[in-house]
Amino acid sequence: MNPVKLTENIYWVGAVDWDVRDFHGYSTNRGTTYNAFLIMDEKITLIDTVKISKKSDMLARIKEIVDPEKIDYIVVNHVEMDHSGSLPDMVELIKPEKIICSKMGEKALRQHFHHDDWPYAIATPGEDISLGAKTLSFLETRMLHWPDSMFTYVKEDKILFSSDAFGEHLGTSERFDDEVDQAILMEELTKYYANILTLYSPLVKKLIAKVQEMNLELKMIAPDHGVIWRSNPGMALQAYDKWSQGKGDGNALIIYDTMWHSTEMMAKEVGAGLQDEGISYKLLNLRYNHRSDVMREVLNASAIVLGCSTLNNGLLPRMAGFLMYMRGLRPTNKIGAAFGSFGWSGEAVKLLNEAMTDMKFDIVDDGLKVKYVPEEGDLGQCIELGRKVGQALKAKKI
Active site (annotated) includes residue 372: no
DSSP string, 249-296: -S-EEEEEE-SSSHHHHHHHHHHHHHHHTT--EEEEETTTS-HHHHHH
CB atoms within 10 A of CB 53: 15
Q: Does 54 bind ligand FEO (CB under 6 A)?
A: no
Q: Give the one residue of 51, 54, 55, 83 binding ligand FEO; rule: CB under 6 A.
A: 83
How far apart, in whole angstroms, are the C-alpha atoms of residue 305 and residue 283? 10
Cα Rg for the chain, rounded, in angstroms?
Answer: 24
User: Measured at CB, which residue is nearest to ligand FEO?
Assistant: 80
Interacting residues with ligand FEO between 205 and 224 (CB under 6 A): 224
Q: Which stretch binds ligand FEO (CB under 6 A): 75-83, 97-105, 110-118, 185-193?
A: 75-83
Minimum distance of ligand FEO from residue 164's CB (angstroms): 4
Q: Does 80 bind ligand FEO (CB under 6 A)?
A: yes
Nearest to 115 by CA among 103, 129, 99: 99
Residue ranges of E strands in 24-81: 26-27, 32-34, 37-39, 45-47, 73-75
Q: Spell out, one character per residue from 120 to 159, where the chain touches ligand FEO: x when CB under 6 A holds, - when not.
A: -------------------------xx-------------
Q: Which stretch binds ligand FEO (CB under 6 A): 79-87, 113-121, 231-239, 290-298?
A: 79-87
How far apart, in whole angstroms, are the C-alpha atoms of residue 18 and residue 57? 13
Catalytic residue, chosen from 17, 34, 48, 78, is: 78
Minimum distance of ligand FEO from residue 134's CB (angstroms): 24
CB atoms within 10 A of CB 290: 15
Active site (annotated) includes residue 192: yes
How far apart, in whole angstroms, are the C-alpha atoms of residue 138 and residue 154? 9
CB atoms within 10 A of CB 111: 10
Active site (annotated) includes residue 362: no
Minimum distance of ligand FEO from residue 314's CB (angstroms): 32
Active site (annotated) includes residue 83: no
Minimum distance of ligand FEO from residue 53's CB (angstroms): 14
Q: Does 51 bind ligand FEO (CB under 6 A)?
A: no
Q: Does 48 bind ligand FEO (CB under 6 A)?
A: no
Q: Measure Cα distances from 113 to 60, 91, 144 in Å.
A: 24, 11, 21
Nearest to 180 by CA among 188, 192, 172: 172
Amino acid letter for position 374: P
Q: Measure Cα distances from 271 to 55, 247, 264, 303, 375 in Å.
A: 49, 22, 11, 12, 17
Catalytic residue, chosen from 169, 225, 256, 281, is: 225
Minimum distance of ligand FEO from residue 148's CB (angstroms): 10
Minimum distance of ligand FEO from residue 237's CB (angstroms): 19
CB atoms within 10 A of CB 233: 21
Q: Which stretch binds ligand FEO (CB under 6 A): 60-68, 78-86, 93-101, 117-125?
A: 78-86
Catalytic residue, chosen from 17, 57, 80, 269, is: 80
Minimum distance of ligand FEO from residue 151's CB (angstroms): 13
Q: Does 164 bind ligand FEO (CB under 6 A)?
A: yes
Q: Is the Cβ of residue 82 or residue 140 nearer to ligand FEO in the bound state?
A: 82
**Could you give the residue numbers annotated as active site?**
24, 78, 80, 82, 145, 164, 192, 225
Q: By CB under 6 A, name the binding residues for ligand FEO.
A: 78, 80, 82-83, 145-146, 164, 224-225
